[in-house]
């Protein structure tokens, strides 16, 4: 049996197939001999395509009915069933249309479950590995060597100004850092801040008071 390509999925199938046994599509033939094609007309010659099963039935010889006998025939007793299957007298004929599946059922795609987006985490602290310290964020808290909420930590840091920077929340509820005109500067992700201009920060950002670095954490 010759193998040809299905015009729908490109898989190899037998040349006398009515349906593609790979994708289930019903096959159509060009009567002019150009094989299986998609659509309504042959892309090679423009001839109207016919279904493969119809083309096969048209080519198969139809059995002729015997002429009725002029002599009345007495009814014969029906033979008892022997359990054997009757022989198929239609050897060589193409299988009937009913024997072929109309289509191959495609599995339904699972419904996607829409999940609500998890709320984004909010910064809660500044963590310094150099000082082995964690500073809890406070709205309006001042960072400085001589004044502010964290004097106990920065009191011995000579490069930190007396009032170096301020932590605050803006109108949208986001955290900001403001440099208070410090001597050695405040840096956000390596960029030096302009004094008295708030800069918003988020989780994972790095804030440095001169070279003393803190990572914004939960």
pLDDT digits (tens, 9 = 90+) for 94-115: 554 455 555 556 666 666 655 6
Residue 76 lies in a domain: no
Residue 77 lies in a domain: no
Looking at per-residue pLDDT, the higher value among 7 and 98 belongs to: 7
| CATH number for 169 | 2.60.200.20
Residue 144 lies in a domain: yes
Last residue of a domain, one of 41, 59, 77: 59
Radius of gyration of the chain (CA): 43
- pLDDT score recorded for residue 91: 47
Q: Indicate the range of 3-12, 95-104, 162-171 predicted with least confidence.
A: 95-104
- Residues 47 and 129 reside in one and the same domain: no
Last residue of a domain, one of 18, 44, 59: 59
Domain total in the chain: 2
pLDDT digits (tens, 9 = 90+) for 21-30: 777 788 787 8
Is residue 51 a contact partner of residue 30, using CB atoms and an 8 Å limit?
no
- pLDDT score recorded for residue 109: 63
- Residues 130 and 209 reside in one and the same domain: yes
Is residue 178 a contact partner of residue 166, using CB atoms and an 8 Å limit?
yes
Nearest to 173 by CA among 202, 152, 145, 195: 202
**How is residue 68 written in tokens?**
């009725």
| 3-state per-residue secondary structure call for 109-163 | CCCCCCCCCCCCCCCCEEEECCCCEEEECCCCCEECCCCCCCHHHHCCCCCCCCC
| 3-state per-residue secondary structure call for 135-147 | EECCCCCEECCCC
Q: How far apart are CA 102 and CA 107, in angstroms?
A: 16
- Residues 129 and 213 reside in one and the same domain: yes
pLDDT digits (tens, 9 = 90+) for 120-155: 688 999 999 988 999 999 999 999 999 998 999 999
Residue 104 lies in a domain: no
Q: What range does the domain containing 150 cover?
A: 125-217
- pLDDT score recorded for residue 203: 95
Residue 178 lies in a domain: yes
């Amino acid at each position: 049996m010759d193998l040809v390509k299905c015009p729908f999925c490109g898989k190899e199938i037998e040349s006398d197939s009515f349906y593609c046994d790979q994708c289930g599509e019903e096959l159509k033939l060009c009567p002019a001999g150009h094989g299986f094609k998609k659509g309504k007309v042959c892309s090679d010659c423009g001839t109207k395509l016919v279904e493969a099963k119809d083309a096969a039935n048209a080519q198969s010889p139809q059995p002729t009915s015997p002429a009725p006998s002029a002599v009345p025939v007495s009814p014969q007793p029906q033979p008892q069933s022997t359990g054997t299957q009757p022989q198929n007298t239609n050897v060589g004929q193409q299988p009937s249309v009913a024997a072929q599946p109309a289509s191959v059922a495609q599995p339904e795609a699972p419904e996607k479950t829409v999940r609500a987006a998890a709320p984004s985490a909010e910064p809660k602290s500044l963590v310094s590995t150099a000082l082995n310290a964690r500073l809890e964020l406070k709205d309006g808290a001042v960072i400085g060597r001589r004044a502010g909420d964290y004097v106990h930590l920065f009191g011995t840091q000579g490069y930190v100004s007396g009032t170096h920077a301020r932590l605050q929340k803006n109108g949208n509820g986001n955290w900001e850092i403001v440099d208070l005109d410090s001597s050695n500067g405040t840096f956000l992700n390596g960029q030096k801040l302009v004094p008295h201009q708030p800069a918003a920060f988020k989780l994972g950002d790095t804030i440095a008071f001169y070279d003393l670095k803190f990572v914004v954490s939960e």
